[in-house]
Chain A
Amino acid sequence: MPDTLDTHVRFGSNSGQPITRRDGRAKVTGGATFAADNSPDSVLHAVYVPATIARGRVTALDTAAAEAHPGVTHVVTPQNRPPLQGDPSDKPTMFSFRFEALQDDTVRYAGQPIALILGETLEAATEGARLLNPRYEIATPRTGLDEAAHYTFDPDAFGKPADTVHGDPEAGHAAAAHSVDVTYETAPQYHNAMETHAVVASWDGDRLSLDMPSQALSMTCAGIAYYFGIPAENVTLRSPYLGGGFGSKAIPTGPYVLAVLAARMTGRPVKMMLTRQQMFGPVGHRGQTRQRLRLGTDAEGRLTVLDHAGLSATSTFDDFIEPAANASQGLYAAGALRSTHSAVRLDVGTPGPMRAPGEASGSAALECAMDEMAETLGMDPLEFRLRNYAETEPGTGKPFSSKALRECYAQGAERFGWADRPLQPGQMRDADGLRVGWGMGTAFFPCPMFMAEANATLRADGTAMVETSAADMGQGAWTALAQIAADSLGLPLDQVEFRAGHSGLPDAGVAGGSGHTATAGSALHAAGGDVIRQLGEIAAADPDSPLHGAGNAGFTARDGRLYVAGDDSRSDAFADILARAGGAEVSGAGSASRAPEAAEAHAMNAHGAVFAEVKVDPDLCQMRVTRLVGAFAAGRIINPRLAESQLYGGMIWGLSFALHEEARHDPARGHIVNADLAGYHVPVNADVHGLDVISVHEDDPYVNALGVKGVGEIGITGTVGAIGNAIWHATGKRVRRFPIRIDDLLGD
């Protein structure tokens, strides 16, 4: 990638600097190559036909009409689909989904691929797809939470959340002097990254080359390889730029496998890019939930029990159960805590991880239930949360690795002006007569680490190259990770070439769980450290170096020089050390994961507090979020500009969750009626008025060597509840369903 850095003021290290994203200029000038921008010679275009019903069977396809259309080269249906080596109905790994790749004629959800057309042009393939004119035998679709039986399941690590109980919930209920028992619902949501799913696949013998957006490159290679019976290392995946992922671009799904299969079948490169409408079906979504929260407190407002039962929708053929109830673990100091999950099978595509899976929907319900509890107690909602502040992890008693939530509450409340909030709802009006309400919620997100590897090479001229297969989904990994790498090598950022986004590089793990900077960053940090260690050995052993014999004291690297630790008068330039050693390069490797002991010793989470102001038109019931203030403590911030941007994005996502996003199913056929961005509204600038982020300082010696927690998802949590609570505060009406619709406020 060309170095597009602006000059900036540096204060010693690269980390902590608000550097603009290094890929920004390439993106806004059109220089960035996204997957579908690749058009190899003789490429064929693939278009799949999505089922327009949610349940039933395909009874007829006009394959002859499609085949006869000029430019159409192949029509692939369950009748003639070449075999796959791995069965898409299987789950080869914990992280695999079952999916449709034309196994049979059953329709299990609307948008399911039911045929694939290949053409010399996109237009020909699109027309061929239309000419197929599928006919169906239609069965009654089940798309509502009560339209099928609810079930429980044995947990596993991905998609089937375990139930968690601490203390004695029944005793907690019995002991409660005050209680609330409320049920909240959240709607199905679809990721809808700006860049829709896309792939360009070509085969060379049994080697596969892929241009596709991926937020987990090596996992994607292994995933795809399985279905084609080749080793993962035979797959080369390039994913330099992604137009957003949000969790949907980590695990291969049916459309990808069909495109790769088409390339193998034809011996030609195949390109497929999903339309916006096709994003609503086979590529994951956030399943709808219904959550019952039963809270009890003693007379002083201390929680005796926090009891959270979640019901989540999944598909009829696989389980991804939005782990909403888990949001009640780890946050408030309740005498007893219980999180349980059940599920219901609907005629929808299998849900998957969508930005803050579980935390987003769980926090929405939890923070509203907390507000309702505070109302019942006649307490200020912030005061109520402080009364239940957890000094150690609730249930386990583990110490927190760090927790500056109190500071988040204080700084957020101060900036927002929370102290002036009337306790009762319906008290405030603005100059135009609009109702004004203020609400708040706590933000909370775990800080996991996965596994990652990285290499670093110091070149003879004293510059460096670092490598890891990191994924920049737009969050800024190209920039923040490069900052970490440069610091680990003691070099200015512009002296470090950063290679990422390619499966041939050391595995950077998954850009997910808000853990990419922590994980891939730690691997880079270790790789750079390894180089510096070796360089120190060379220098210490070199009689001509000012560092000769100083190996025991240890070295620090800064601005391209090695210094004796604690003695700035003795130093040597990287390039000089290497020149004297014969001009060789020094290469180092690093890996990162969290040691199980470390994970056991401390509870590790990021925290925050979000405050919302809404205005409601008393005649129209129109709602506007006029101010959002979020204060977050998430460990060390590598790049404040990018971190702030992530937190803004998270809070806007929360706004969207609270007021806009909802896929609505047609009751008769089960398809999604608003499967485009006109009907499925995501916020635009006109929806977002005041947005304010405060980064609260936090040092964490335990999460990882860098002290980095993660900011990718936490902004959603707290925000949804804050907005819901603000709407109650404006109107006196509790709407226990998200998104809150305009007509929900009618008649007050």
Chain B
Amino acid sequence: MYNFDFERPKSVADAVKALQTEEAQPLGGGQTLIPTLKQRLAMPSKLVSLAGIDEIKGVCKDDQNRLCIGGGTVHRVIAEKAMSEGFPGLTGLASKIGDPAVRNRGTIGGSLANNDPSACYPAAAMATGATIVTDRREIAADDYFKGLFETALEEGEIITEVKMPIPEASAYMKFEQPASRFPLVGVFVARFSDRVGVGVTGASESGVFRWTEAERALGSDFSADAVKGLSVPADGMISDLHGTAEYRAHLVGVMTRRAVAAAQ
């Protein structure tokens, strides 16, 4: 390990200030960042831990029936609270991330900031039309994700909250890569009174996306059969040792149908 500075502010304002140093980086639960540091894929000069900031932790419901999740909330808490607030689809997602250690440390803010092409939350954020709240603005999910590991976040910008409209019915289905349990492909389906959202993660070379064709089909008939004939082209899908582009394209269809069936 090499040397770096470490700060643990108590407020968002202090964290933003601490992050103004050149090459400073926020540290959430460290479940992605610490291994990255170990492999020296990142070498920040300063880590600003967000773990001591109470104002970005916790889950509540606002008057627009949105689940408001603090950016520093860990997966385990999200899994519990989403259930009691009537959003079991998100519970299903959060409770299957990694293992208990990961779920007790890793945060939704870290996951969304990192935007790993196989991360689970981005699928839910896209499907529900979530709003990403930072220390300085609000960003719609459709504008937030910019490809593999790329987001609309600026240098030193902190995700303080995520606002997810709570669907009437929802489910997340992921095909797990056996060693890490990351999705090879994950699909989040959310049904609202006026629309259906389908967010797909793990599949595309351009990162998480909404499968609009399926959204339209499901909008008029929310059943697995409604998307039976649909498929996404293999072109532009990720191909790696876990599966070819064709296989991932195939999985998008299967996972969508299974998610719809589970959300009934």
Q: Report which of B40, B179, B247 forms a contact with A678, defined as CB distance below 8 A.
A: B179
With an 8 A cutoff between CB atoms, is B193 at the interface?
A: no
Q: Report which of A662, A664, A673, A679 forms a contact with B179, defined as CB distance below 8 A.
A: A679
- Binary B-proximity of A114-127 (CB < 8 A = 1, otherwise 0): 00000000010001
Contacts of B258 in A (CB 8 A): 619
With an 8 A cutoff between CB atoms, is B250 at the interface?
A: yes
Do A742 and B241 form a contact, CB below 8 Å, given A123-B1, A620-B175, A681-B178?
no
With an 8 A cutoff between CB atoms, is B251 at the interface?
A: yes
Closest to B182 in A: A678
Do A743 and B241 form a contact, CB below 8 Å, given A123-B1, A678-B179?
no
Assembly CA distance A664 to B251 (angstroms)? 22
Closest to B244 in A: A743
In chain B, residues 228-257, which have Cβ atoms closer than 8 Å to a Cβ of chain A? 241, 243-244, 246-247, 250-251, 254, 257
Which range contains the number of A residues in contact with the other chain? 20 to 34
Assembly CA distance A746 to B244 (angstroms)? 10
B246 touches A743 (CB 8 A): yes
Contacts of B257 in A (CB 8 A): 619
Distance between A656 CB and nearest chain B CB, rounded to angstroms: 12
Assembly CA distance A285 to B153 (angstroms)? 45
Distance between B105 CB and nearest chain A CB, rounded to angstroms: 19
Contacts of B254 in A (CB 8 A): 619-620
B179 touches A677 (CB 8 A): yes
Q: Report which of B1, B180, B250 forms a contact with A746, defined as CB distance below 8 A.
A: B250
Distance between B95 CB and nearest chain A CB, rounded to angstroms: 18
Assembly CA distance A145 to B29 (angstroms)? 45
Assembly CA distance A422 to B103 (angstroms)? 47
Q: Report which of A673, A681, A743 forms a contact with B247, defined as CB distance below 8 A.
A: A743
With an 8 A cutoff between CB atoms, is A674 at the interface?
A: yes
In chain A, residues 663-681, which have Cβ atoms closer than 8 Å to a Cβ of chain B? 664, 673-674, 677-679, 681
B241 touches A674 (CB 8 A): yes
Closest to A741 in B: B243
A681 touches B179 (CB 8 A): yes
A746 touches B178 (CB 8 A): no
Q: Report which of A127, A130, A620 forms a contact with B251, defined as CB distance below 8 A.
A: A620
- Binary B-proximity of A641-685 (CB < 8 A = 1, otherwise 0): 000000000000000000000101000000001100111010010
Closest to A678 in B: B179
Contacts of A674 in B (CB 8 A): 241
In chain B, residues 134-174, which have Cβ atoms closer than 8 Å to a Cβ of chain A? none
- Interface centre among B178, B243, B258, by most chain A C-beta atoms within 10 angstroms, is B178
B243 touches A130 (CB 8 A): no
Distance between B243 CB and nearest chain A CB, rounded to angstroms: 5
In chain B, residues 1-31, which have Cβ atoms closer than 8 Å to a Cβ of chain A? 1-2
B40 touches A130 (CB 8 A): yes
In chain A, residues 719-748, which have Cβ atoms closer than 8 Å to a Cβ of chain B? 741-743, 746-747
Contacts of A743 in B (CB 8 A): 243-244, 246-247
Distance between B187 CB and nearest chain A CB, rounded to angstroms: 13
Assembly CA distance A678 to B257 (angstroms)? 29
Distance between A620 CB and nearest chain B CB, rounded to angstroms: 6
B244 touches A673 (CB 8 A): no
Assembly CA distance A130 to B38 (angstroms)? 12
Closest to A123 in B: B1
B40 touches A679 (CB 8 A): no
Assembly CA distance A684 to B2 (angstroms)? 35
Closest to B243 in A: A743
Assembly CA distance A679 to B246 (angstroms)? 20
Assembly CA distance A486 to B206 (angstroms)? 67
Contacts of B180 in A (CB 8 A): 678
Contacts of A673 in B (CB 8 A): 241
Contacts of B251 in A (CB 8 A): 620
Closest to B179 in A: A678
Assembly CA distance A235 to B178 (angstroms)? 44
Closest to B239 in A: A743
Distance between B161 CB and nearest chain A CB, rounded to angstroms: 33
Contacts of B243 in A (CB 8 A): 741-743
Assembly CA distance A679 to B240 (angstroms)? 11
Contacts of B250 in A (CB 8 A): 746
Assembly CA distance A620 to B254 (angstroms)? 7
Assembly CA distance A255 to B99 (angstroms)? 36
Distance between A368 CB and nearest chain B CB, rounded to angstroms: 22
Contacts of B244 in A (CB 8 A): 743, 746
Assembly CA distance A330 to B194 (angstroms)? 71
- Binary A-proximity of B179-216 (CB < 8 A = 1, otherwise 0): 11000000000000000000000000000000000000
Distance between A624 CB and nearest chain B CB, rounded to angstroms: 11
Distance between B235 CB and nearest chain A CB, rounded to angstroms: 16
Assembly CA distance A600 to B17 (angstroms)? 84
Do A746 and B241 form a contact, CB below 8 Å, given A619-B254, A677-B179?
no
Contacts of A681 in B (CB 8 A): 178-179
Distance between B179 CB and nearest chain A CB, rounded to angstroms: 4
In chain A, residues 597-627, which have Cβ atoms closer than 8 Å to a Cβ of chain B? 619-621
Contacts of B241 in A (CB 8 A): 662, 664, 673-674, 679
- Binary A-proximity of B93-127 (CB < 8 A = 1, otherwise 0): 00000000000000000000000000000000000
Assembly CA distance A687 to B179 (angstroms)? 11
Contacts of A677 in B (CB 8 A): 179
Assembly CA distance A619 to B254 (angstroms)? 6
Assembly CA distance A684 to B258 (angstroms)? 26
Assembly CA distance A674 to B178 (angstroms)? 14
Assembly CA distance A687 to B241 (angstroms)? 18
Assembly CA distance A130 to B1 (angstroms)? 11
In chain A, residues 150-209, which have Cβ atoms closer than 8 Å to a Cβ of chain B? none
In chain B, residues 24-78, which have Cβ atoms closer than 8 Å to a Cβ of chain A? 40
Contacts of B179 in A (CB 8 A): 677-679, 681
Contacts of B1 in A (CB 8 A): 123
Distance between B200 CB and nearest chain A CB, rounded to angstroms: 16
Closest to B258 in A: A619
A746 touches B40 (CB 8 A): no
Distance between A303 CB and nearest chain B CB, rounded to angstroms: 37
Closest to B180 in A: A678
Assembly CA distance A673 to B250 (angstroms)? 24
Contacts of B40 in A (CB 8 A): 130
Assembly CA distance A741 to B178 (angstroms)? 13
Distance between A132 CB and nearest chain B CB, rounded to angstroms: 13
Assembly CA distance A662 to B240 (angstroms)? 13
Closest to B178 in A: A681
Assembly CA distance A709 to B86 (angstroms)? 64
Distance between B225 CB and nearest chain A CB, rounded to angstroms: 14
Distance between B104 CB and nearest chain A CB, rounded to angstroms: 21
- Binary B-proximity of A100-143 (CB < 8 A = 1, otherwise 0): 00000000000000000000000100010010000000000000
Contacts of B2 in A (CB 8 A): 127
Assembly CA distance A265 to B257 (angstroms)? 65
Distance between A256 CB and nearest chain B CB, rounded to angstroms: 27
Contacts of A742 in B (CB 8 A): 243, 247
Assembly CA distance A334 to B132 (angstroms)? 71
Distance between B181 CB and nearest chain A CB, rounded to angstroms: 11
Distance between A39 CB and nearest chain B CB, rounded to angstroms: 21
Distance between A71 CB and nearest chain B CB, rounded to angstroms: 13
Distance between B256 CB and nearest chain A CB, rounded to angstroms: 11
Contacts of A687 in B (CB 8 A): 178
- Interface centre among B1, B241, B257, B258, by most chain A C-beta atoms within 10 angstroms, is B241
B residues contacting A by CB (< 8 A) are 1-2, 40, 175, 178-180, 241, 243-244, 246-247, 250-251, 254, 257-258
**Which 7 pairs between the two chains have the least Cβ-Cβ distance?**
A743-B247, A678-B179, A743-B244, A619-B254, A664-B241, A743-B243, A674-B241
Given A742-B247, A746-B247; 15 other pairs, CB 8 A cutoff:
A127-B2, A130-B40, A664-B241, A674-B241, A677-B179, A679-B179, A679-B241, A684-B178, A686-B178, A741-B243, A742-B243, A743-B247, A746-B244, A746-B250, A747-B246
A residues contacting B by CB (< 8 A) are 123, 127, 130, 619-621, 662, 664, 673-674, 677-679, 681, 684, 686-687, 741-743, 746-747
7 residue pairs of the A-B complex, CB under 8 angstroms, read A123-B1, A619-B254, A620-B251, A674-B241, A678-B180, A741-B243, A743-B243
